[in-house]
């Protein structure tokens, strides 16, 4: 079982690798310029957060837009990568009016598989200036929101492509391990 993690410069990217290893999966950090060809043999892919805005151009994201468009294995985007997925799937990304830094409460709207067993509400940590908004033409379902953020988790229509705005990889998100375990389960099938 091999799930690489894309390094986008975020503070917690290496904690994703650590969490996956603790869950028994082989993992490593890879750079954004990676291609689908490089990822042959991977069972899934997690993309981390980073200090950028998707509205400042796609240059920093290398091969990720194509991977998001065409990957046949499951993909999970966290924070900045969640916003990248949201934008590519027809949502818009805007500066949050009430940005979240630290503790927030995630409200589950639709469990899907990724949020299976985490309960109706759970505490998570988030750190973001931008957020995903629906446009009416988006090609994803909203799986969770919070008091200040309308799209805390999403799933692409008809594909195992997920995004979460909060950080499942940090110690202060107690249900985060469950979310990652669910993702590993999805990759295993």
Q: Is residue 149 annotated as a catalytic residue, yes or no?
A: no
The one catalytic residue in 152, 169, 172, 187 is: 169
The two three-digit tokens of residue 59, written as one number = 């240059």
Per rule CB under 8 A, is residue 87 in the interface with another protein? no
Gap between the Cα atoms of 44 and 58, Å rounded: 22
- State whether residue 55 is helix, strand or coil: helix
Gap between the Cα atoms of 13 and 20, Å rounded: 11
Interface residues for another protein in 59-78 (CB under 8 A)?
A: 60
Q: Is residue 66 annotated as a catalytic residue, yes or no?
A: no
CB within 8 Å of 156: residues ≥ 6 apart: 85, 89, 139, 140, 162
For helices 13-22 and 176-188, the axis angle rounded to 10 degrees is 70
Nearer to another protein, 110 or 121 (CB): 121
Nearer to another protein, 148 or 159 (CB): 148
- Please state the closest distance from residue 188 (CB atom) to another protein, in A: 20
Nearer to another protein, 34 or 180 (CB): 34
Could you list the residues that contact another protein (CB under 8 A)?
A: 7-15, 17-18, 21-22, 27-34, 38, 49-51, 60, 79-80, 98-103, 125, 127-130, 167, 170-172
């Amino acid at each position: 079982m091999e799930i690489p993690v894309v390094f986008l410069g975020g503070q917690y990217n290496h904690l994703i690798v650590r969490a996956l290893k603790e869950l028994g999966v082989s993992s490593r950090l890879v750079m954004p310029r990676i291609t689908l060809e490089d990822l042959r043999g991977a069972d899934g892919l997690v993309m981390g957060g980073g200090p950028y805005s998707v509205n400042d151009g796609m240059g920093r994201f290398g091969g990720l837009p194509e991977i998001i468009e065409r990957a046949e294995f499951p993909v999970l985007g966290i924070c900045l990568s969640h916003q990248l997925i949201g934008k590519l799937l027809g949502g818009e990304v805007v500066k949050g009016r009430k940005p979240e830094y630290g503790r927030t409460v995630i409200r589950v709207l639709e469990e899907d598989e990724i949020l299976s067993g985490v309960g109706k509400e759970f505490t998570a940590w988030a750190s973001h200036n931008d957020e995903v908004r629906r446009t009416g033409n988006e090609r994803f379902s909203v799986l969770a929101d919070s008091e200040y953020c309308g799209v805390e988790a999403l799933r692409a229509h008809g594909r195992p492509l997920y995004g979460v705005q909060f950080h499942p990889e940090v110690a202060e998100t107690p249900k985060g391990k469950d979310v990652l375990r669910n993702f590993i389960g999805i990759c295993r099938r």
